[in-house]
Amino acid sequence: MEVHAYPTESTVPVDLAEARRIADLYLRDPDDAADDIGSVVTEFDAGFTVVAVRGTAEAGRLPAPAIGGSVCVIDKSTGAISFWPTYPTALIAEQYAAMRDTGRLVVEDSWPGPEDFDLVTSAIGEDVDDAVLTIDYESS
């Protein structure tokens, strides 16, 4: 198994301020603010994890992760972004180092485009407001 990372226009090595800028530029959905979704950026040896959260921190406690989200890693040395399951930062850091050290972290030349996937879509529901859109990605 390989982990694919995607390039960013970043200043390297990436520091915390640059990681926040990359997260805002590449990982923020325009609807996030309206849905009260922000992000938490956490540093580890080789990079930064970025986790989408709902709400704001209270009394030193982090807000709850956004349901259905993932953890993104921004690499310190390249600024590249990779996507990970919702594991704690310590576990991500361990697995990230293992993938990088064994050559299984692949930094692509560009982000995938729609032509890189066979999209199969279908809408189920009586009217548009109740419709559920499903997209199945089959890598070509």
Q: Tally DSSP H helices, then E strands, for the chain.
A: 2, 9
Q: Residue range 100-117: average pLDDT?
A: 90
Please name which of 110, 79, 82, 80 lies closest in space to residue 11, comparing C-alpha atoms: 79
Q: Residue range 77-104: average pLDDT?
A: 95
Q: What confidence tier does 86 reach under pLDDT thresholds 50, 70, 90? A: confident
In Å, how far are 23, 49, 73, 125, 127 from 20, measured between CA atoms?
5, 10, 12, 39, 40
Q: What confidence tier does 131 reach under pLDDT thresholds 50, 70, 90? A: very low
SS (H, E, C) 56-122: CCECCECCEECCCCCEEEEECCCCCEEEECCCCHHHHHHHHHHHHHCCCEEECCCCCCHHHEEEEEE
Predicted pLDDT at 137: 46
pLDDT over 80 (residue 63)? no
| 8 A C-beta contact, residue 82 and residue 112 | no
Q: And the tokens for 65?
A: 């992760």
pLDDT over 70 (residue 114)? yes
Predicted pLDDT at 4: 95
At residue 100, what are phi and psi to the nearest 5 degrees?
-65, -45
Sequence spans of domains, the chain:
3-111
pLDDT over 70 (residue 139)? no
Predicted pLDDT at 134: 46
pLDDT over 50 (residue 135)? no
Question: Is the backbone of residue 55 left (phi > 0), alpha (psi -120 to 50) or beta?
Answer: left
Q: Residue range 81-87: average pLDDT?
A: 92
Taking only the tens place, the pLDDT of each residue in 12-47 is 999 999 999 999 999 887 777 667 777 889 999 999
